Every structure is written in C-alpha cells, then in structure tokens.
Structure 1
C-alpha cells in the first residue's frame, strides 16, 4: 500500500505549518491561554487558509476534501498545540449535517465553510461513562430539549451545538443555537487550557437534524471522525515533543558531556520513538477505516484509540522525565505538550473504555476455539 502523500497534500501541510510557526508561536499561545483558551483572531487565521471549508461539500461552498487531507491538517495543528476546536467545528459538524434535511444543510454548511458559524458536538453526560447509547437529555414532540451536557468544546465561543436527545424510543440529533431560550452555559478551561463548558437546556427549542431511527449511528460516525482527527493531532503533538526532548538531551550536560551520550537515556528515547511510530501507523489505520461499514469502522477506531492512549501516556511521561525538573514547569513549552497528551487520552473514551470496546467487538478466534 502506498502511504506517500500527494503533492497537493504536502502543499497543504506546508501551508498549515507556516501558519502555526508564524501566527501560533509560544508567545501567541500563552496570550490565548490567558484570554480563556480561544482566540477569534487565530480562528480567523484558520478560516483564511480555507481549512473550515475542507470537509464541506463543494455544492455548499466547500472544498470537498477527504479524511487523509484532514489528517494532514490535524498533525500540523497538533505540532503547534492549537487550542481552537478545529476538528469539532470543521470535520465533525459537516459530517453530521450531511444527514440533515436539505434546507438545514443549505443554511448551515455554507456558513461553516466561510467560517461564519462554529458548531460543536455536545454529547457527553455524567452518567454515560463514554457510552454513546446512554443519553438522559429528553426531547419533546415539538423539539424542545431538557437536559445537561458536559465538557462541551469551545463553550460560549460556539454559535450552535449538536445535541443528542431521547426521542421516539431512540436517540435523535438536534441543533441548538447558543442564544436559544433555555440555554445556560458555565464556562471553564480544561487541563491543557482549552475552552469548555457545561451546557444546560431547559425546554430549549431545537432543530431536528437526524431522527431517532438513525441518530445513534450518525453520532457514532461523528465520534469516530473525531477520534481519527485526534489520533492525527496526537501524532503531531508527540512528534514535536520528541523533537524538543532530543534537542534538550543534546544541549543538557552532566559530567561535562551531553546527556544524549548516555546509553541508558538513548535506549529510553528509542522506546519513545517506537511508541510514536506505532501511534503514527494506527493514525493512518484509523483514517483509512473511516469509510468502512459501521462495525469494521467502530472496531478499528477503538483499536486506534487504545494504541494512541498507550503511546500518548508513554511518550508524555518519558519525555517529561528525560527533561528533569524543567519538564514540569509552566514556563517550559514541553509541559504544555504533556498536558495536551493527558487531556486527549481522556477524550472520546479513555484507553480502558476502548479496550473493552475492542474486546466486545472481537469475532475472530485465531484458531484457538472451534
């Protein structure tokens, strides 16, 4: 199988990398952290690159690019620790809206492509424990929602939310605008500094996107897209953190020599590099499986999340330890890479959750049982 990227994909990578290096350096990112974890100027920079149009169909003013192009973008955003919820707004939201009625698509997809509307998925509930089929938010017959969603990306910076709710004996997907009656948001920041919020709905009017007959299947697809995007982002985060660690080891001296010359530390960084490459291969695997049938796709994405979780934890912990005391200081950028890896390991289902999902979906016996 050919894993080489096309010339257009490499050009896309270079454009995003230049944006990150020029407009999202450490100083800019620290200013965004102080301002609450979201920057309208940085978001406008992503819009200016055309990235919000990436996954929107051409008929609605988008570029109509595929999962591999999205993976390329996410890797570079990961390298720069970009806080804005690009994957949620530009990859997940269009995928859900593709199942909505034509008039809803015509209203929202061009706005997403143009960067005029930021939509995020609000699906997590406290009692769900990462399960997508557990939903306590209720929808009335006239599409009014009552319930509570947790850890909603972007928080008050979002223009609208995609909300699963119980309706007609199943889970339907609705669109709720931020300024709708009955919406209450409590903003806070995650461990990595990114913006999030608790979303409370009280008889809030909503627009039906996907009826209950297909809502759960579309929600699962949306979360799988988010997992694949996060896998690519994690590869970018780890790749940059490993490079920072190697650079530090080549400059930090003990006993008059660089610590990179110590055999024990060289062995540790070799193990780190191996985990990084395992994560990279599983990121490719996850992206390439997005268009598979639901059962194969769900199993593949859980497999990828298990490997990514193991790799993120190992790479983050080892690179931080190889830095010594400076690795845990807020002033050093490496600690922010560690924080981001820690947060990502918990999003969309932690490692243990997806290990259970892989086990539940295994049907092959490898000849062990008749």
Structure 2
C-alpha cells in the first residue's frame, strides 16, 4: 500500500503551514483569545477566500478540489501545531461531512457557502445526560405541518457564538436512547426561539449552551440518514481530532526537547540526564503511534459501517492514551512553569487533555471496539 501523500496534498500542507506560521504565533493566538470574539474573523476569511483551502475536501461539482478525509487530516494536524481555534472541525469536517453524505438541495446550497467562508456551522449534539450515547437525546422535533417544532437544550456547542448555522440532533420519534427516531437538522443560528449562553472553554475555544423553544424548522432542513449519519459524522470528527493530536504531540515534544537544552541543574542542561532522555524518547514513540493510528483510522472512514466504527474506536482509544502520556510528560519535564499562561506548553496540554475525551474517551472506545469485534 502506498502511504505517501500526493503532490496536491503536500501543497495544501505547505500552504497552510506557511500561513499559520505568519499569522498564528503564540502571542497572536493569546491576543485573539483575549478579544471579545475569541478569534480573528479575518483568518477564516483568508483560509477560504484568499487561500482557497476550505474547498480541499469537497467535490468538484460543489466548487471543491475533490478531496476528502485525508485532506481534512492534513489540515487538522497543521491546526494542532498552533492550537488554532478556527472552526474547521465544526464547519468543514462535521457540517461539510454531514452535507456530503446526505446530499440533496441543502448540500448544493450550503457547501458552496462553506467553501466561500460565508457559512460557519456548529454541531449541537451533546446533552448533559447523554455522555457518549449519541441516541440519548431529549431534544425533540415534532411534526408541524410541512416542518417541525424544535425544543430542547444542547450543551458545550463549540463555535456556536460564531455560527451562521447549527447542525442539531433531535428526536422525531421513539424514546430516549432508542436509535430509531434520531435525525439531524441544519438550521439558521439566528432562528426565532434559539437562545445561547456563551463561554470560553478551558482549551481556548468558544462554546455555548444552546436552548430551543418552539423553533420552527422547515422540512427541507432535515438531513436524511438518521442515527447512522450521526455516527458517521462523529467518527469522521473523531479522526479529525486525532489528527489535531498528531500536530500537538509533535510540538509538545519539540518544545520539551528545547527546554531541556536550556534549563540547567547541577551545572549542566537537564537534557543530559539519562532519565529525561528516556522520557523524551518515549514521547517520540507515542507521538509516532498517534500519527500511525490516525492515518489507519482515517483510511478506514469509507469502509462498511462496522469496520469503520471498529477502526475509529481502536485509533481513538490509542490516541487518547498516547496524547495523555505525551502531555503529562511534557508538563512533568517543564515543572511548575509548564502550567502557567505565559508558556505555550500549558496551552497545548489543555487542548490535548480535552481531546482525550472529545467524541469518546479511551475507555468508551475500547468498550465499543470490544462490542464490535468480539463474539457475543
């Protein structure tokens, strides 16, 4: 199997890496996070309108480059290297992925808007009681003529303060935890009846508690596919954050190595101590395993559902444990200064900690993998 990247994919990586190096250094990121918006909207516009990178994972018929999951993996790794708060995961991977899979008039209308940078999508799927069960949904979408009335509460909706659209999971029938009756709707974020409570997350992003009270949703806002589509979208998102973890792990290792060359004890750099050399070697190994498992899981995203789920769970479980090891090792090597706001390594550690549990913890994915692969 040829695992090398194409010339176009390498070009995409180089273009994004150079742009982020010029615009997203640590001090620039801190300035963005301290602003009222929590980001610089000009960067998203540049990614779409000036560089044209948002077209990479979309089909040519929608104005894209014909790419897919591998292109998203490449982009997310580069975003991880600067812990970018751009809504690529929510808009391009999740929103764009759901629209590509569902197809139809809604996809034809919305994907070009994503590519142009005019649409930002937030994924409103999590509820306080749900844990990682995607079918544990209390939000309801009741038939109302040709459309629906949406009522409920979604928690920790990343990028909601910036969103033009919300991709919402809701129950059109059945009872909580039943797979039947779970659907997704793409609705305008400023629709009457929607209210938000915005807040910054520990990893530097912006999120919201989103409340729906008799929100009128047109029938054409429904994305066909049910719970199977929701699971597919979340699996794609899981591999995207694994790719982000790849970039984060590489930077945490490089910053730790650099720190051990400068920090001195007993008259010599601590990087000369054999115990720390062993630790950093282990960090390197775990980082390479993150990259390998991410690539394996990403390549399986187009496999049949059972094989896809198993591959994603295996990868996410390994990545969650490995990024935890790399992050904790980096902080332990830096000491107390590693968790201060003034040093970059602490910010990488916060994001890596969030990735551990995002879209399923290691324990959850190991249990799912076991259920999918072991005989009953």
In structure 2, what is the equivalent of residue 46 of structure 1?
47
Does the Cα contact within 8 Å between 1:124 and 1:150 map onto a contact in 2? Answer: yes
In structure 1, what is the equivalent of residue 244 of structure 2?
233
In structure 2, what is the equivalent of residue 103 of structure 1?
105
CA distances 1:73-94 after superposition (whole Å, capped 9, x unpaired): 1111110110122121012212
Q: Return 5+ residue gaps in structure 2 as ranges.
A: 175-180
In structure 1, what is the equivalent of residue 163 of structure 2?
158
CA distances 1:248-275 after superposition (whole Å, capped 9, x unpaired): 1112111221111111111111111111
In structure 2, what is the equivalent of residue 180 of structure 1?
191
In structure 1, what is the equivalent of residue 3 of structure 2?
3
> 1:256-335 alignment to 2 at 5 Å?
256-335=267-346
2-side partners of 1:96 and 1:149: how far apart? Answer: 18
1-side partners of 2:375 and 2:275: how far apart? Answer: 40
Q: CA deviation at 1:99?
A: 4.2
Does the Cα contact within 8 Å between 2:90 and 2:159 map onto a contact in 1? Answer: no
In structure 1, what is the equivalent of residue 22 of structure 2?
22
1-side partners of 2:264 and 2:5: how far apart? Answer: 39
Does the Cα contact within 8 Å between 2:186 and 2:223 map onto a contact in 1? Answer: no
2:84 equivalent to 1:79: no
SS of residue matched to 1:98: helix
In structure 2, what is the equivalent of residue 199 of structure 1?
210
CA distances 1:269-311 after superposition (whole Å, capped 9, x unpaired): 1111111111111011111011000111011111111111101
TM-score of the aligned structures, taking structure 2 as reference length:
0.93
Does the Cα contact within 8 Å between 1:51 and 1:90 map onto a contact in 2? Answer: no
Q: Return 5+ residue gaps in structure 1 as ranges.
A: 366-370
1-side partners of 2:229 and 2:267: how far apart? Answer: 59
Q: Assess, with a 3 A threshold, how the Cα gap between structure 1 residues 205 and 63 changes in structure 2: closer, same or farther.
A: farther
Q: CA deviation at 1:51?
A: 2.2
SS of residue matched to 2:298: helix
Q: CA RMSD in A?
A: 1.5
Q: CA deviation at 1:239?
A: 0.4
Q: CA deviation at 1:103?
A: 2.2
SS of residue matched to 1:163: strand
Q: CA deviation at 1:67?
A: 1.4
Does the Cα contact within 8 Å between 1:97 and 1:209 map onto a contact in 2? Answer: no
TM-score of the aligned structures, taking structure 1 as reference length:
0.95
Does the Cα contact within 8 Å between 1:24 and 1:42 map onto a contact in 2? Answer: no
Q: CA deviation at 1:364?
A: 6.1
2:226 equivalent to 1:215: yes
1-side partners of 2:54 and 2:121: how far apart? Answer: 11
Q: CA deviation at 1:203?
A: 1.0
Bigger mean CA deviation after superposition, 42-51 or 65-74? 42-51
Matched length: 363
1:129 is matched with which residue: 128, 131, 154?
A: 131
Does the Cα contact within 8 Å between 1:252 and 1:258 map onto a contact in 2? Answer: yes
Q: CA deviation at 1:119?
A: 1.2
2-side partners of 1:159 and 1:233: how far apart? Answer: 24
Q: Assess, with a 3 A threshold, how the Cα gap between structure 1 residues 261 and 53 changes in structure 2: closer, same or farther.
A: same
